[in-house]
Amino acid sequence: MVAMRTTTKWITAVVAAVTLACAVPALWLRHGYHEAKDRRDLMDLTRGWNRPLGDLPVPDELPADRVTGEVSAYGLRLWYPAAADPGADPIAYAVLLTDGPDEPLWTVDCDATVVVVCTDLGDGYTLLHERDTDNSDPGTTVRRRVGDLMFEARVLGDHPEMVPRLRRIITETHAPDDAELLRFLRPDGYQTDWS
């Protein structure tokens, strides 16, 4: 009986050792695969941007979920709900390269006064009130230029009460790590050509 228990213990120990010897490398390989996939996906999702990703700071107030975005040659754009209500209009946040002294590439122009009224808020901030016309929806935008980058936060509609929050969004930012960028940029089921 004692010999049987000893044999059972040895068999159990051998099975446990073999299982552990197989599981650890498998977990290590799986982790390596996911790390490589994340690097490939981030490279693919940001391939249009030819500057360091640290030049694309994101707002500190971003929620942990319900954020979508894109990176292009012009910069970073993110959209997220303005309130906890899923049906709330989104806040649009952008970091864009500027074209000339004042305007980002491919955005609304402050010289188009029929559509946009700009107000200097001081300290480098500008409020853009976009009017409701046949080819534009009303919107409230706050901008700030830093070097050759233009930061802007926008909400649909005429919302002067949102100006302090929009200003805070483009002021209180941080450089995202790769995992945070992937969370915003990579949609569910995303695959690169080599995934």
Domain range annotation of the chain: 1-45, 53-185
Beta-carbon contacts of 125 under 8 Å, excluding residues fewer than 6 positions away, are: 142, 143, 144, 167, 170
Q: What is the DSSP string of 9-75?
A: HHHHHHHHHHHHHHHHHHHHHHHHHHHHHHHHHHHHHTTT--S-GGGS-EETT--SSS-EEEEETTE
The tens place of each residue's pLDDT in the chain, 195 residues long, gives 555 567 777 777 666 666 666 655 555 555 555 677 778 888 888 888 888 888 889 999 988 778 888 998 889 999 998 876 666 788 999 998 887 555 555 555 565 545 777 888 888 898 888 887 766 778 899 999 888 889 999 998 888 899 999 999 999 999 998 888 888 888 766 666 554
Report the CATH fold assignment for 53-185: Jelly Rolls (2.60.120)
Supply the pTM of this predicted model: 0.73
